[in-house]
């Protein structure tokens, strides 16, 4: 693993596939111009609209999303994470799928979100992700890269389940991806502290691309896509507008923190 720059992209995706892909490409290009070699796109990067519309368009969204990720990886010679898009599985449902692609355009890791957001938020909004999404049944993968370190995947609501990240850490993860479309109401209180907790307890970098702003009707997300170091320090924060958070991933810093705070070695209960 070498020192390199990573980017967490922040978007305001809408119910328009092509418009979202144009926005994503512009932000990927911006990240590349600033030197990023590892780029993460948020959950729902290619489509964020009403559930029934998402299901109706899912085959087209899935096909376009995969093609887009492979094209961007090759064009900009980056490793890229598409943080979540619908892949049809039949019976009117989809998997919320995160896809990691290397600079050759080859898929190197895929994760189907296991924790589904079925919550009555205190602001009056109700979310029932399970009405259209089928939960994955496989623990998220890690991908070991000689240059970039070992990357672990997750999606949004997963961040509330620390056992998933401990699994990734014990599989050797150095960097934890948490692409999200976090609600504005919960995000203001929980987003940053949950990300910092996952970084600190696993002594890993966290790369958290995010959705921000108003998407359609009542759907409003928190933003603050960020990159956090293994000590829990916020290295970059995209704020509340579309943009890019960029920071260095440094193996020396990773080793230093793990030497100073070897908590993973002190586990008693497995």
Is the per-residue pLDDT at 58 higher than 80? yes
pLDDT, residue 125, reads 79
The tokens describing 105, both together, are 């355009």
- Percent of the chain beyond pLDDT 70? 100
Higher pLDDT, 122 or 197: 197
Domains of the chain, with CATH numbers?
Answer: 4-265 (3.60.110.10)
Task: Point out the catalytic residue in the list 32, 70, 156, 204.
Answer: 156
User: Residue 52 catalytic?
Assistant: no
pLDDT at 127: 87
pLDDT of 218 > 90? The answer is no
Judged against a pLDDT cut of 80, whether residue 270 lies above it is answered with no
Which residues, in sequence order, are CB contacts of 34 under 8 Å at separation 6+?
A: 5, 7, 244, 246
Whether 47 shows a pLDDT value over 80: the answer reads yes
β partners of residue 220? 214
* Residue 121 confidence (pLDDT): 83
Question: What would the pLDDT profile of 80-130 be if each residue is shown by its tens digit?
Answer: 999 999 999 988 899 999 999 999 999 999 999 999 999 988 877 788 999
43 noted as active-site residue: yes
pLDDT at 217: 78
156 catalytic per annotation: yes
Q: What is the pLDDT of residues 136-176, one digit of tens each?
A: 999 999 999 999 999 999 999 999 999 999 999 999 999 99
Residue of 32, 37, 113, 204 marked catalytic: 113
pTM attached to this predicted model: 0.97
Give me the DSSP letters along 164-176: HHHHHHHTT-SEE
pLDDT at 64 over 80: yes
Q: Which of 37, 43, 112, 204 is catalytic?
A: 43
Residue 26: is its pLDDT beyond 90?
yes
Q: What is the dihedral of CA 200, 204, 205, 210, to 10 degrees?
A: -70
Q: pLDDT band at residue 180, thresholds of 50, 70 and 90?
A: very high
Residue 99's pLDDT is: 98
* Residue 219: predicted pLDDT: 85
């Amino acid at each position: 693993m070498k020192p390199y720059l990573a980017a967490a992209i922040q978007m305001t995706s809408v119910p328009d596939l092509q418009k979202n892909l144009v926005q994503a490409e512009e932000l990927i290009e911006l990240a590349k111009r600033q030197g990023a070699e590892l780029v993460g796109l948020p959950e729902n990067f290619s489509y964020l609209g009403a559930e029934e519309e998402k299901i109706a368009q899912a085959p087209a969204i899935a096909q376009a999303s995969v093609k887009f990720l492979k094209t961007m990886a090759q064009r900009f010679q980056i490793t890229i994470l598409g943080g979540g898009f619908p892949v049809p599985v039949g019976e009117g449902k989809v998997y919320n799928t995160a896809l990691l692609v290397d600079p050759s355009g080859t898929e190197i890791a895929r994760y189907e979100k296991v924790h589904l957001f079925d919550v009555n938020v205190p602001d009056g909004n109700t979310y029932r992700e399970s009405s259209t999404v089928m939960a994955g049944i496989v623990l998220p993968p890690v991908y070991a890269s000689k240059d970039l370190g070992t990357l672990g995947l997750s999606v949004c609501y997963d961040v509330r389940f620390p056992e998933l990240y401990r699994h990734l850490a014990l599989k050797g993860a150095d960097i934890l991806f948490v692409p999200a479309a976090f609600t504005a109401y919960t995000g203001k209180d929980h987003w940053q502290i949950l990300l910092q907790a996952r970084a600190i307890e696993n002594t890993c970098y966290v790369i958290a691309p995010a959705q921000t702003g108003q998407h359609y009707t009542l759907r409003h997300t928190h933003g603050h896509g960020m990159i956090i170091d293994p000590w829990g320090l916020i290295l970059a924060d995209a704020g509340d507008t579309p943009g890019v958070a960029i920071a260095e991933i440094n193996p020396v810093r990773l080793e230093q923190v793990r030497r100073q705070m070897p908590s993973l070695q002190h586990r008693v209960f497995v």
